[in-house]
Amino acid sequence: MSELANELENVSANKCFGGWHKQYRHFSRTLGCTMRFAVYLPPQAMVGENVPVLYWLSGLTCTDENFMQKAGAQRMAAELGLAIVAPDTSPRGDEVPDDPAQAYDLGLGAGFYVNASEAPWSRHYQMYDYVVKELPELIEAHFPVSDRRAISGHSMGGHGALTIALRNPERYRSVSAFSPISHPVDCPWGQKAFRAYLGDDQALWREYDASLLMADTRATLPALVDQGMDDAFLERELKPETLEAAARASGYPLTLRRHEGYDHSYYFIASFIGDHLQFHSRQLAQ
């Protein structure tokens, strides 16, 4: 254990499919506040094996709990020997600014996985650095895991997973997403968040747009995206066709699957999470 060990406070622990689901609280130097994350450690991690890690980024209004409680990922993660880490979706605390109108798509629960540059957000809303740097450092220092990483997410978290992987392909073996916000510079959710967090500089916005990044990248990190065709946010906010066009333009290895009848909910995620875990497991094994 490193000297950081005293920063971790175990909040809860539940045995699950021979492994353990645990919640921890710690003070984040990056975000300047106390944060919570959840980790599922499969049975293999209990007997001394350093297992690979899938980082899961959740969507608007979620915490570390939604995916862990609703997606049903632990059974297959246990079979595959895969740890799952789920951070919160934004900084939290009385000192952390929130949207004055208390809208669900800005402020608490809506960090958008960017490094904010505008006041009052810039002091705490550094979720990009937290996910890319601080959290993996913490996980790899204190848990029986390796540095083989994959990343995935849903909606706002799908946007986060894709942009983080595209900007840091050397840190991950694979990336996947459910219903990602694929082109945030051209949708209401993204425009509202980016204008608040990043200001009016469109060049900064482009750094967090998966479609624009994918169109320009030379990376070849395998990507899997699933989209429900009965998703109420499909045309206005998600725009998967822009991601598909970007992949064609750059030759990026994207698999984008469309599913009739499925919506934006965790019922959709639970239906196909097994495919995603198997996809990541194959890449992590290479």
Q: pLDDT tens digits, residue range 5-58?
A: 458 999 999 999 999 999 999 999 999 999 999 999 999 999 989 999 999 999
pLDDT of residue 48: 87
Q: Quick check: is 201 catalytic?
A: no
| Catalytic site includes residue 211 | no
| Count of domains observed in the chain | 1
The mean pLDDT of 129-150, rounded to a whole number, is 98
Q: What pTM does this model have?
A: 0.97
For 231, other C-beta atoms within 10 Å of its C-beta total 21
CATH number for 105: 3.40.50.1820
- Hey, what are 70's tokens? 């609703």
Average pLDDT over the chain reads 96
Mean pLDDT value of segment 99-114 = 97
Out of 28, 58, 152, 155, pick the active-site residue.
155
Q: Name the residue range of residue 257's domain.
A: 2-285
Nearest to residue 178, comparing CAs of 66, 264, 113? 264
Query: Could you give the percent of the chain with pLDDT greater than 70?
Result: 98
Cα(285)–Cα(147) distance, rounded to whole angstroms? 12
State the residue for tokens 């459910």: 178
Q: Of 154, 264, 276, 280, which residue is the catalytic one?
A: 264
pLDDT score recorded for residue 1: 34
Confidence of residue 2 (pLDDT cuts 50, 70, 90): very low
- From the list 18, 189, 11, 183, the residue with the least C-alpha distance to 111 is 189
Measured CA to CA in angstroms, residue 275 lies from 73, 80, 87, 242 at distances of 10, 12, 22, 23
Mean pLDDT value across residues 256-273: 98
In the residue annotation, 264 being an active-site residue is answered as yes
Among 231, 276, 280, 281, the active-site one is 231
The whole-angstrom separation of Cα 28 and Cα 32 is: 6
Beta partners for residue 34, in sequence order = 27
